Amino acid sequence: MLRSTFVQPVMKIKAEEKGFKLPLSALVRGKNSWGRYFTESTMISYISHHGVSFKLKTPVSPGHKLKLIIELPPKLGENLKLFIQGKVVFVEATRIQKPLQRVSLRFGGAYRIQAEK
């Protein structure tokens, strides 16, 4: 039986996590649920230092690794892109936009910010 003292710290961490709901264009690359490579454009709906959420038409499964190229706002610099990868931790079918699924990705590994020429 779990005591509330074990649950409390986890809930506290989630409440303190800061993120941003800002639309950023992104390109997603990786393998779909059938193991085939794909590339798809999307809009970031949420981003934090731990991960990111977005919608995809291409079916992916939890545990799959994906690469993202996120277009950063012009205020940060001209044509800046964030190159980062992560692992799919959550997939949810959307009710309103049928072919789309909401994907949550936990960042892992190195990243780089680079100006595109």
Q: Is position 45 within any domain? A: yes
Q: Is position 7 within any domain? A: no
C-beta of residue 40 within 8 angstroms of C-beta of residue 56:
yes
Select the more confidently predicted residue: 89 or 49. Answer: 89
Identify the domain containing residue 92 by its residue range.
Answer: 19-115
Mean pLDDT of 81-97: 86
Mean pLDDT of 103-113: 89
C-beta of residue 43 within 8 angstroms of C-beta of residue 52:
no
- Report the C-alpha gap between 107 and 52 in whole angstroms: 8
User: Is the pLDDT assigned to residue 74 strictly greater than 60?
Assistant: yes
Q: Is position 50 within any domain? A: yes
Q: Is position 78 within any domain? A: yes
Number of domains in the chain: 1
pLDDT tier, 19 (very low <50, low <70, confident <90, very high otherwise) = low
Q: Is position 2 within any domain? A: no
- Report the C-alpha gap between 81 and 70 in whole angstroms: 5
pLDDT for the residue 35: 92
Mean pLDDT of the chain: 81
pLDDT for the residue 75: 85
C-beta of residue 32 within 8 angstroms of C-beta of residue 60:
yes
pLDDT for the residue 79: 86
pTM over 0.85? The answer is: no
Please state the φ and ψ torsions of residue 71, each to the nearest 5 degrees: -80, 120
CA–centroid distance for 89 within its chain: 9
Residue 52, domain CATH: 2.40.10.220
Mean pLDDT of 98-111: 86
Q: Is position 12 within any domain? A: no
